[in-house]
């Protein structure tokens, strides 16, 4: 099996690459390294198990490496929800335009299968929680969520028009080693700078579902082996949730900082486009007989420990 992984030097991508290599697949990574790091996959490159094409998907040249590919995992994106409200342009380019360019390259090189990493933010402030895949109306409240929904629509049209198949995974918050963004990374960075006080964006009551990255990779690969429709859309998350203040407590506990004071910036949202309550229904993927093995609290603790080891 010849797999292409865009964003394969990033957080989730590099864990996916580890698993694909372990399965004996030939892997090509396309990553500009704008956020990813070569070190995350360096051992596979040194072992000639992975080829890295360090290029921006918005430029030309990477397409010539695709000949013979069986499957495309398209993870490269600008994943920053908060920044997408400050400056939408990079989100449009790295998410929508890059996905369109991937689809065109797949069409021209006859690559039949696309695995795409979407997000819970396509649901916006959903009225039904846990939110199932068939929830409507899809009304994203962040530019990032809108960009991913646009990608989903483009992918669906290409699959129906050009005989491709896709697996679209709408992730909850995925956390773990090598993560370069998100609430846990943010808390650790702030506490390293000032262990006496931790600024928490919003009122700390935002409650969301978190899933450890290895569970996420297992779910993705499991579902791609089982679901065989043209467009296969699945939520991936844990079956419970945790609030931001509890995450702050776990981080300070693991960093042995019992006296840190929490300072809340206030308001029910941490930033423009923040969804205060998110839990995804995972009944659909459970129907394929996959189930998360751990919940949000345990995922957070494992991720904090792994990230602290990287300091
Ligand atoms: P990440 O930033 O660690 O990885 C993204 C990778 O894509 C980086 O290595 C970056 O260098 C690369 N990249 C970005 N733009 C590129 C471009 N134009 N050309 C080539 N390479 C480019 O992010 P992540 O958390 O690993 O996210 C992976 C995917 O999962 C993204 O599509 C993201 O939207 C999605 N996702 C992540 C989460 C999460 O909780 N981490 C949740 C929902 C969805």
pLDDT at 87 exceeding the cut of 90: yes
Encode burial over 20-53: b for 16+ CB neighbours within 10 A, e otherwise.
Answer: bbeeebbbbbbbbeebbeeebbeebbeeebbebb
Task: Report the CATH number that the domain containing residue 260 is assigned in CATH.
Answer: 3.90.25.10
Cα(258) to centroid(ligand 1), Å: 34
pLDDT at 91: 98
Q: Are 185 and 173 in contact (CB under 8 A)?
A: no
Identify whether residues 157 and 77 lie together within a single domain: yes
User: Which atom of ligand 1 is nearest to 13's Cα?
Assistant: 26
Task: Confirm if 198 and 190 have CB atoms less than 8 A apart.
Answer: yes
Please indicate, yes or no, whether residues 18 and 129 belong to a single structural domain of this protein: yes
pLDDT for position 218 = 98
Q: Give yes or no for residue 311 having a pLDDT over 90.
A: no
Query: Quick check: 148 pLDDT over 90?
Result: yes
Q: Which of 60, 79, 184 to mutate to test the pocket of ligand 1 (most atoms within 8 A of CB)?
A: 79
If one counts the domains in the chain, the total is: 2
Q: Measured in angstroms, how far is the CA atom of residue 8 from the centroid of ligand 1?
A: 8
pTM value is 0.98
Supply the CATH number for residue 22's domain. Answer: 3.40.50.720
Decide if pLDDT at 303 tops 90: yes
- Render pLDDT for 28-80 as a digit per residue (tens, 0 to 9): 999 999 999 999 999 999 999 999 999 999 999 999 999 999 999 999 999 99
Looking from the CA of residue 74, the nearest atom of ligand 1 is 32
Please tell me whether residues 250 and 112 are part of one structural domain: no
Q: Flag whether 286 is in a domain.
A: no
Q: Is 144 a catalytic residue?
A: yes
Range of the domain at 135: 2-174+211-236
* Ligand 1 geometric centre to CA of 78 (Å): 6
Dist CA 124 CA 282 (whole Å): 17
Given a cut of 90, whether residue 189 has pLDDT beyond it is yes
- pLDDT digits 0-9 by tens, 204-261: 999 999 999 999 999 999 999 998 999 999 999 999 999 999 999 999 999 999 999 9
**Residue owning the nearest CA to atom 30 of ligand 1:** 117
126: DSSP letter: -
Catalytic site residue from 123, 135, 144, 158:
144
Residue 132 lies in a domain: yes
């Amino acid at each position: 099996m010849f797999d292409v992984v865009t964003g394969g030097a990033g957080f989730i991508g590099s864990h996916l690459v580890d698993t694909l290599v372990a399965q004996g697949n030939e892997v090509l990574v396309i990553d500009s390294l704008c956020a990813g790091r070569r070190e995350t996959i360096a051992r596979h490159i040194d072992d000639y198990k992975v080829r890295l094409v360090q290029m921006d998907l918005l430029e030309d040249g990477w397409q010539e490496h695709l000949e013979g590919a069986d499957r495309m995992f398209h993870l490269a994106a600008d994943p920053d929800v908060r920044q997408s409200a400050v400056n939408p342009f990079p989100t449009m380019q790295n998410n929508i335009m890059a996905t369109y360019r991937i689809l065109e390259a797949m069409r021209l090189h006859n690559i039949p299968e696309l695995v795409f990493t979407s997000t819970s933010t396509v649901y916006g402030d959903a009225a039904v929680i846990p939110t199932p895949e068939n929830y409507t109306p899809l009304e994203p409240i962040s530019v990032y969520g809108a960009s991913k929904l646009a990608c989903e629509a483009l992918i669906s049209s290409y699959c129906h028009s050009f005989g491709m198949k896709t697996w679209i995974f709408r992730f909850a918050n995925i956390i773990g080693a090598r993560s370069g963004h998100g609430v846990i990374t943010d808390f650790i960075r702030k506490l390293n700078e000032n262990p006496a006080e931790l600024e928490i964006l919003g009122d700390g009551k935002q409650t969301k579902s978190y899933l450890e990255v290895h569970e996420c990779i297992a779910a993705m690969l499991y579902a791609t082996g089982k679901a065989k429709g043209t467009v296969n859309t699945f939520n991936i998350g844990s079956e419970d949730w945790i609030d931001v203040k509890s995450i702050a407590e776990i981080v300070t506990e693991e960093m042995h900082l019992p006296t840190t004071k929490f300072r809340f910036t206030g308001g029910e949202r941490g930033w423009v486009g923040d969804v205060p309550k998110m839990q995804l229904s995972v009944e659909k993927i459970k129907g394929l007989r996959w189930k998360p093995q751990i919940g949000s609290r345990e995922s957070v603790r494992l991720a904090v420990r792994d990230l602290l080891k990287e300091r």
